[in-house]
Every structure is written in structure tokens, then in C-alpha cells.
Amino acid sequence: MSNQKKKIFQIEAFKNRVVVDPKYAEKTWKILEHAIHEIYNHNASGLSFEELYRNAYNMVLHKFGEKLYSGLVTTMTAHLKEISKSIEAAQGDLFLEELNRKWNDHNKALQMIRDILMYMDRTYIPNTHKTPVHELGLSLWRDNIIHSGKIQSRLLSTLLELVHRERTGEVIDRGLMRNIVKMLMDLGSSVYQEDFEKPFLEVSAEFYRRESQKFIECYDCGDYLKKAEIRLNEEIERVTHYLDAKSEGKITHVVEKEMIANHMMRLVHMENSGLVNMLLNDKHGDLGRMYNLFRRVPNGLAMIRDVMTSHLRETGKQLVTDAERLKDPVEYVQRLLDEKEKYDGIISLAFSNDKTFQNALNSSFEYFINLNSRSPEFISLFVDDKLRKGLKGVSEEDVEIILDKVMMIFCYLQEKDVFEKYYKQHLAKRLLSGKTVSDDAERSLIVKLKTACGYQYTSKLEGMFTDMKTSQDTMQGFCSSHPELTDGPTLVVQVLTTGSWPTQPSITCHLPFEMSALCEKFRSYYLGIHTGRRLSWQTNMGTADIKAIFGKGQKHELNVSTYQMCILMLFNNADRLSYKEIEQVTAIPASDLKRCLQSMACVKGKNVLRKEPMSKDIGEDDSFFVNEKFASKFYKVKVGTVVAQKESEPEKQETRQRVEEDRKPQIEAAVVRIMKSRKVLDHNNIIAEVTKQLQSRFLANPTEIKKRIESLIEREFLERDNSDRKMYRYLA
Amino acid sequence: MLAGYSTVSSKAKIKGLEKIDRLFNTYANSSLGMIDPEGIEALCSDLGVDYTDVRILMLAWKLKAEKQGYFTQDEWQTGLKALGVDSLSKLKKALSDLEKEVEKPSNYEDFYTYAFRYCLTEEKQKSVDIESICELLNLVLGVQFRPQIDSLIEYLKVQNDYKVINSDQWINFLRFCKEISFPDLENYDATQAWPLILDNYVEWMREKHS
């Protein structure tokens, strides 16, 4: 080689088209087809990934993607048809196993095929908008296997059969179930729903419908609910183990509807085991279960609440109108407290402190407590009993607990002003007789009343306490300034501020000389310190301790009322006294006099006097003597009665009348207050505003309010508007 | 010329006034200086109307008479001048015109209220007893609202919540007759601002008819 030309490399495009061997595509495809066969026949190990990938790559590159893709479809379909036959051939229980196995195989194969055909997946397929390989594999599986005529229905019925078996107590292969179900989910949510979930829900509904019908006939309410709860939990567990999580809400809805919603009414009202029975017997477990199950269905809780409310109202109504119960006010209130405690317990333990139930409880109590117009009086008597003896020896914390409970009942009262009247009377008696168990307990209750009703409600009550304290100081001052009085009768004076105390003005009776002299001394002492004040002796309210010696030398100390003391002292100067004589000398009012004489002459164990004739009642012509034969095993004998008692009919009427009278100025004051600030207001609004303002004391009657408004119009505080008759106008 | 004219008219005026005064003196009690109940009775008989006729009440209203049973000279003069009469015969004719004038809606309520005030004979008196109210209702409203008034009067006589009626209740009787359908009383609403006495009346009526 002598001539060596320097060659410059030039890269030029092919001048000639490369003609690919037309048989090249077919040949390449055959290689790949063969590979797919091998893969499906579990012979993949002998294949070269690299070679296959390259072949597939070249086919696509040389514009034979179409051939490759359609070939894939055909080949895969053919294989799947084979697989389908083998699955169909499986017997009985092996059906699912075979399906599962073949599915796993298919997935593995699909994976490998996808890897080999990845270039096509990434270029040809997106460009032609064809289904990607993996997805294609799933759709082909779905169409050729799952939706094949022979397999589709068999698959569904097998799955449902297994679920049914499990529901009847058999153990099934949950792992297998999970895999099959997952397969359906992988094939697409519509496959899962159409081929399994929908029929599953229908069949389950039918199952539970039948089961609940059977149960409701043979189980009582409590047991039925237990069964329902078990079934519900089972279904939830089933979903966790082998179903799509989204099915949980749907299947629980089915159970709730079939087992609970459809039988709600019957369960609640079941005789001897329904809601009312559970309430009566404090069956907290059953009630809690009912609450938890019913809250899952529409109107479930509303139904429980309504039945509870009407039962409670009925029970309460019977309680407050039961004639037997009404004889003992303390018992009456105790029953109310017990009932409240019972339901508080139920609501907190079984109904998880549900506020709507709390409200139902409150409105029911408010309803029936106010059905009996004596409730305010009885509650005051209950408190009186507790403060006089019931709370003796009880710890401070327990006292608070009891008083708080009573306050809760108090808050239900609509006529709080009636309560105030009675409370004042009873408190006065307690204070004046010195019969209160604990000063702290008394004051604690006043504070609670103040919190509930405002300062004005309790200001007079507090005044009563102050008077007691002040009287003590006054007595000390009196005694120290009159040392000569240590011999002779002892005087203890309580000075009460008129207006704070519920005293009725009374005519002072004639006191025995020893007492009247003493009283005068006190009066001058007191008025010396407090000039400008007026004192009047309330002889209808005092007590006295007298030492007496009877016919055979029996010595006793008698605790009597002031009136009784006046009567007895007369017998120091006379052996025999007629009724008229006693009346004249003592000037005690007739009805009181009769009562005093009766308690001293006609009551066994207290008959310090003897009466002729020995009739039960006091007659105006009776004569009285000291009962020389009086005997009592006690040295100290209590004759007077200043204890708070349930009012008699006429007393009750009187109190009610006084309450009504007191309400009139309160209504007027409210009307004036409102009109003063609003200047002009229409009728309905005035009624509403006045009612609202007075709510904490009593429930104002619209007719009464109207009466007061008319009275105010007459007295020219208000006038009607000339043009609009519904409006009222404030006149300054 | 003007002076002549006014002289004539003032002469006429004086003449008219003279006649009015003369008429006044015919019935007036000379020691009192005004027409007293006796005088009014005489006037009535001359006019040919009953002493208790509602037209006399209307006359009192027109005269704006302050005290029941008496007409002062001022009231007489003002009233007759307003009526445009100066003789008995003219007064007689004017009475029927007066009825029509009172019935005009703009006057009616005023007349009605006046009727009540006219009954307040004592100083500081604010209410009128039931008997008198019944008579007054009959007189004043009886013709126009016969069935309502008859029924209401019956009620007022049997009830014993109220022994007297005040002006507020009185004015509402008229409104009741005008506004409430009778005898069904269907559009009566007790929750509205009607006086309590009417609430009670309606309840009584409803019970009677049930």
C-alpha cells in the first residue's frame, strides 16, 4: 500500500433506506410469544431478560408496536382462557384456592411481562392511548376469569356462603378470603362493589332481618340488645380482617337498621323488660347498652328520651298527688330527692351525661313539682326538720352535700316567693326556740339561696340572724347594768326588727306582776340606749320555764309558752278558776286561750291542769284546777308547742292570700320599671318582659298583670296610646 | 257705607243675643243665675222631648255643659250661637240636625267620651256605678248597637268583679262594639290589650253559648 489517503470521517445519513427484513417482525414476535408461554408455564428461568427487552424495544422502534401489542393481548387472552378452565374444574372448597393460586401466578407473570415490554409501555402506549400493560393484564383477568359465565356466579356464592358459615359460628379461612377480596379490590372499586359488596349487603340485610325477627320473639329486651351488640361487633371485626375498610360503615348500617331501627319501638315498650322496667330497676348496664346502640340510628335517642320523660312525669305526678305521701312533708321531699338521685345516676352512668337527657330530667321535675301547690311549704318543712335535728352529728361536707341537693329541688319551684314566706316562718321559730342544730348550716343555706335568687331574697333572713346576735349583746348589757336582778326570775329578751320577721302584730296579754315589772325595767334600759324606737312585747311568741310543786310534792320544771305561763301563775293565788275568769285576767285572745288550756288539761303526760267537765274540748263554762296528781317520769316537762308544723287548711288559705297580695306591688313595680325605660311598649311585650323579670320569684299570671296595668292606668301612671290600642305609654 | 253695614249686623247680633238671653231667662233659676234641673225639665217639655231623651244629652254636649243638670249663661249663649238658633221653635228643629251631627264619625267618639264625663258629678270622681253605666250605655249606644248593648248590660248586672266603671273601660266599650263581630265574637283576642272586664264578658258569652 503505497498510496495512503487520509480519510476524513464524515458522518452522513443513510443514503439508502435500511430495508428491514419483512419477516423480521414476525420472527421477533415469535420469540416474545414463546417467552410469554414460558413465563406462564413457570419456565421463566431459562429466559434472557436482556435479549427479550431488546427484542421488544426493536419492534417498537421499527414501528411494529401495533403488532406487539395485539400479539400480547391475543396471547395473554389465550392463556387466561386455559386458566379459566382449570379454575372451573376445581371441586368444592378447592375452587377458591385454585383461583387464588392462579391469580398469584398471573400477577407474577404480568410483572415479568411488563418489565420486558417496558419500552412499549412508556412510548407506544401513551402515544396511542392504549391501556398500559399492567392494567391490561388486570382487565383481561377480570373479563376472562372473574366475569366468565361459569366463574362469576360461583365466586360470589362461594364467598357469601363462607360469610354465612362464619356468622353461624363456623371457622373459615380468613386469609384466603382476604386475598380473594383484595383481588377484587385490585381489579377496581366497581368490581368489588358490583361483584361482591352489593350482593353481600343485600344478603346480610336478609340474614339480619330474619335473625332479628327470631330474636325479638324469644328474647327479652336486655338479652336482645346483648345479641345485637355482639353481631355489630362481629361485623366490624369481619371488615377489619378481610373486607375493604369502606365497607364498615355500610355493613354496620345494615345491622343497625335491621336489628335496631326496625324493632326500636317494640324493644323500648317491651313489657317487663323494656325501658321503663330498666329505669325502675336501675339496670345501668342494659341502659348503657341501649343508649350506645340507639344513638347509632336516627331518632333512637329521641325515643329513649321521650319514653323516659313521660315515665318520669307520670311517676312524679303520682308522687306529688299521692294522698298518703302528702301526710308527711319530710317523707314527700325525701322521695323527691331520692328520685332525683336515681335519675342523676342513670344519666351519668348509663347515658354518658348526655346534656339532652339532663334537660329532659330538669323539665320533667319542674313540671311535676309545681303540680302540687304545697311543694314550697313542704320543702321548707324538710329543711326545717334537717336543721332542727336531721343534721345532728353529720360532718360539714355531708351537710353541704345534703343542702346542695335540696337547693337543686328548690330551683325547680316556680313559686319561690311562697317558699320564702314559709322559710321565714320556720326560721323564726327555729331561731326563737334556739332549736337549730348548726348555725353554720343555717348560714350556709342562706348563702345558697342568695346565690340562686339574689341579695334581696335573703336580706331579711340575714336580718333575723343579726337580730339574734344583737339581742344577745343587749341582754349582756342589761344584766351587767342591773346586778340586783340575779335573784328572782330571769328574763331573756330577743329584740326583733319589725319587717324582717314574719310576726303578726298581737295584743299584749296581761303578764303576772313579777314579769311585768321586769319587762318594764328592760324596756326603759333599751329605750335609754335607743331613743326614738318603739318596743312592743310579742306575748304570743315567748316561752317560759317554771318550777312547780304538785300535790304530793312532785317537783317538775315546766317548759311552757308565755300564754301558758300567765295562766298557770294565776293558780298561785286561786285553787279554781273558770274559763271566763282566766280570759278576763290574762286578756289572751280566745282561740289561743282555748288551745293553751287544751294542751295543759287534755293531753296525756302534759296535763298539769284538771278540767271540769272532763270533755275533750274547752267550753266557755269550764272550770280549771291544778292537777295535784300530775305525774311524769321526766323532771323537765315540755308543754308548749312552738314547733313548725304543716299548715291547716285555713292557715294555708291565709298564707296563699298574703302571697297573692305581696305579688301585686311586685308586678306593678316591674311594669313601672319597664315602662319608665321603654316609654312606649305594646301589650304582648309588656307581659313577656314582666314575666321574665319576676321569673326568679314566681310565675306571673298574664291576667293578674293585666289587672295591675289597668290599675296603673286608672292611677295615671300609664295611658293607652290614642291611635294604636295595643300600645301603652309611660306618663312621667 | 261700611259703618252702616256693620251697625246693621251688630244690631242684628245684639238683637239675636237678646233673644237668646230672653230664652235663657225663661228657664233659668234667677237666684242661681243658671238653668237648673227644674228648668231643664221645663225646657224638655216645651221642646216635646223626654227628660231622659238622648237628644238632651247631645244638647248638653253641644253646649259643652260642665255640670250635669245645669246650663250656665255662657254655655247657653255659646251653644245656641253655634247651633244658629235663637228661639224655641228653631231649637226644636235643630235637635234633629244635632243627632246627625253627633253621628258623624269625627264627633261620635267625642260625644261618647263626653257622656261619661257628664256623669262624674262629684269632685275627683273617676268612675261611675254600674247601674248608671247600664242606663248610659243604653241611651248612647242602644240604638246603633242594640244586641251588643243588651248583652253587655245583662253581663254587667250579673258580674260582681267590678262595682264601678272607669273612663278607660268606658272608651273600650265603644271600640268593642265597633270592632268585634257579634254575636260570634270570633275576632276577639284576650291576649291583647282589652280591659279585663271585656275578657271576662267574652268568656261569659262563650260559656253561655256552648
Q: What contacts A496, CB < 8 A, 6 or more positions away? A: A464, A467, A503, A538
Does any domain span residue B194? yes
Q: Where are any strands of DSSP class E within A603-682?
A: 609-612, 623-626, 636-638, 680-682
Size of interface A-B (CB pairs under 8 A): 32
Q: Domain end: B103, B133, B157, which one?
A: B103
Residues spanned by the domain of B149: 106-209
Calpha distance A477→A473 (Å, rounded): 6
DSSP sequence for A547-608:
EEE-TT--EEEEEEEHHHHHHHHHTTS-SEEEHHHHHHHH---HHHHHHHHHHHHSSTT---
Statement: residue A597 has pLDDT above 90: no
Tell me what pLDDT residue A70 has: 92
Average pLDDT over residues A621-647: 79
Mean pLDDT of A9-30: 72
- Is A683 in CB contact (< 8 Å) with chain B? yes
> Which of A444, A430, A345 lies closest to A394, judged by CA?
A444
Residue A17 pLDDT greater than 60, yes or no? no
Residues B111 and B40 in one domain: no
CA angle centred on A72, ends A70 and A78, rounded to 5°: 105
What is the pTM assigned to this prediction?
0.75
> Sorting pLDDT into bands at 50, 70 and 90, what band is A611?
confident
Residue in the structure block whose three cell numbers are 383477568: A141
Distance separating alpha carbons of residues A408 and A463, to the nearest angstrom: 25
Domain check: are B113 and B199 in the same one?
Answer: yes
Domain assignment of residue B49, yes or no: yes
Grid cell, residue A180, equals 380473594
- Cross-strand bridge partners of residue A611: A624
List, in sequence order, the alpha helices (H) in chain B.
2-27, 37-47, 54-63, 73-83, 88-103, 105-118, 130-141, 146-158, 167-179, 196-209
**Gap between the Cα atoms of A255 and A231, Å rounded:** 8
CATH number of B183's domain: 1.10.238.200
Mean pLDDT, rounded, of chain A: 89
The DSSP code sequence of A372-403 is STTHHHHHHHHHHHIIIIITTT--HHHHHHHH
Same domain, B68 and B111: no
What's the angle, vertex CA A104, arms to CA A98 and CA A106, rounded to 5? Answer: 100
CB A652 within 8 A of CB A671: no
Q: Given B126, B127, B193, which is nearest A720 (Cβ)?
A: B193
CA distance A652 to chain B (A): 24
| Predicted local distance difference test score (pLDDT) of residue A220 | 93
pLDDT value of residue A648: 77
**Nearest Cβ partner of A720 from B127, B168, B199?**
B168
Counting the structural domains of chain B, the total is 2
pLDDT attached to residue B2: 45
Cα distance from A706 to chain B (closest Cα, Å)?
A: 7
Examine the pLDDT at A108 and tell me if it is beyond 60: yes
Rounded percentage of chain A residues whose pLDDT exceeds 70: 96
Identify whether residues B94 and B46 lie together within a single domain.
Answer: yes
pLDDT band at A641 (very low <50, low <70, confident <90, very high): low
Q: DSSP label at B135?
A: H
Comparing CB atoms, the residue among A703, A713, A726 nearest residue B192 is A726
ipTM: 0.74
Query: Do the chains contact at A706 and B166, CB–CB below 8 Å?
Result: no
| Res A417 pLDDT > 70 | yes
B80 shares a domain with B60: yes
By C-alpha distance, the chain B residue nearest A718 is B168
Cα atoms found within 13 Å of the Cα of residue A76, Cβ hemisphere only: 28
CA-CA distances (angstroms) from residue B78 to B13, B59, B62, B75?
Answer: 13, 12, 9, 5
The CATH number given to whatever domain includes residue B75 is: 1.10.238.10
In angstroms, the Cα distances linking A102 to A39, A145, A280 are 13, 10, 62
Neighbouring CB atoms inside 10 A of B202's CB total 18
Average pLDDT over residues A652-680: 91
Give the closest of A683, A707, A710 to B168, CB-based.
Answer: A710
B interface with A, Cβ–Cβ below 8 Å = 126-127, 166, 168-169, 175, 191-193, 195-196, 199
3 state SS of B157: helix
Evaluate if residue A1 carries a pLDDT over 60: no
Q: Summarize the confidence of residues A2-25 as an average pLDDT.
A: 66
pLDDT digits (tens, 9 = 90+) for A346-397: 999 999 999 999 999 999 999 999 999 899 999 999 999 998 887 788 888 8
pLDDT confidence tier of residue B1, bands split at 50, 70 and 90: very low
Residue B180 located in a structural domain? yes
Query: What is the predicted pLDDT for the residue at B134?
Result: 92
Give the highest mean pLDDT range of A245-259, A710-724, B33-47, B67-81. Answer: A245-259
* Same domain membership, residue B112 and residue B151: yes
Percent of chain B topping pLDDT 90: 18
Q: Tell me what the pLDDT averaged over chain B comes to.
A: 85
Query: Which tens digits make up the pLDDT trace of B60-103?
Result: 888 888 888 888 888 888 888 888 888 888 888 888 888 888 88
- Tell me, yes or no, whether B112 and B91 share the same domain: no
Contacts of A448 (CB under 8 A, 6+ apart): A403, A404, A407
Over pLDDT 70: what percentage of chain B? 92
Torsion angle (degrees, nearest 10) of CA A439, A445, A451, A456: -70
**pLDDT (mean) for A592-605:** 84
Tell me the three cell numbers of residue A360: 329532659
The CA distance from B209 to B182, in Å, is 12
Look at residues B68, B103, B138 and tell me which one is the last residue of a structural domain.
B103
Q: Is the pLDDT reported for residue B154 higher than 60?
A: yes
What pLDDT shows up at residue B26? 86
User: Are both B139 and B94 inside the same structural domain?
Assistant: no
Residue B4 counted as domain residue: no
Name the least confident of A7-11, A669-673, A675-679, B99-103: A7-11
Question: Residue B12 has what pLDDT?
Answer: 66
A384 vs A424: CA distance, rounded Å: 11
Indicate if B95 and B117 belong to the same structural domain. no
Domains and CATH numbers, chain A: 23-145 (1.20.1310.10), 543-638 (3.30.230.130), 655-730 (1.10.10.10)
Q: Does A613 sit behind a cis peptide bond, omega within 30 degrees of 0 on the bond before it?
A: yes
In this prediction, residue B8 has a pLDDT band, given cuts at 50, 70 and 90, of low
Is A263's pLDDT higher than 70? Answer: yes
Predicted confidence at residue A4, as pLDDT, reads: 59
pLDDT at A13: 65
Regarding whether B53 and B136 lie in a shared domain, the answer is no
For chain B, what's the residue count? 210
Q: What DSSP character marks residue A6?
A: P
Amino acid identity at A616 = K
Asked if the model's pLDDT at residue A411 lies above 50, the reply is yes
- The DSSP secondary-structure symbol of B192 reads S
What is the pLDDT, as a whole number, of residue B13? Answer: 67
- Choosing from B87, B103, B119, the residue where a domain stops is B103
Q: Is B17 in the same domain as B99? A: yes
Q: Are residues B68 and B130 in the same domain?
A: no
Reported as a single tens digit per residue, the pLDDT across A111-120 is 999 999 999 9
A725 to B168: CB separation less than 8 angstroms, yes or no: no
In a domain, B51, yes or no: yes
- The DSSP secondary-structure symbol of B26 reads H
Record: contact B192-A728, CB cut-off 8 A: no
Task: Report d(CA A423, CA A460) in Å as an integer.
Answer: 11
| Residue A16 predicted with pLDDT over 80 | no
Q: Count the neighbouring beta carbons within 10 Å of the beta carbon of residue A486.
A: 8
What is the distance in angstroms between the Cα of A713 and the nearest Cα belonging to chain B? 8
Residues 6+ away with beta carbon under 8 Å from B89: none
Cβ distance A304 to A275 under 8 Å? yes
Give Cα separations from A600 to A582, A626, A627 (angstroms): 14, 10, 10
pLDDT at A255: 95
pLDDT at A326 over 90: no
Task: Specify the residue for cell string 295535784.
Answer: A628
Q: Give the mean model confidence (pLDDT) for residues A538-543.
A: 84
Does the residue B187 lie in any domain? yes
Mean pLDDT of A408-436: 89
Q: Give B3's pLDDT tier (boundaries 50, 70, 90).
A: very low
> Phi, psi at residue A636, to the nearest 5°?
-90, 125
Does residue B193 belong to any structural domain of this protein?
yes
Contact A533, A496 (CB under 8 A): no
Mean pLDDT calculated for residue range A318-343: 90
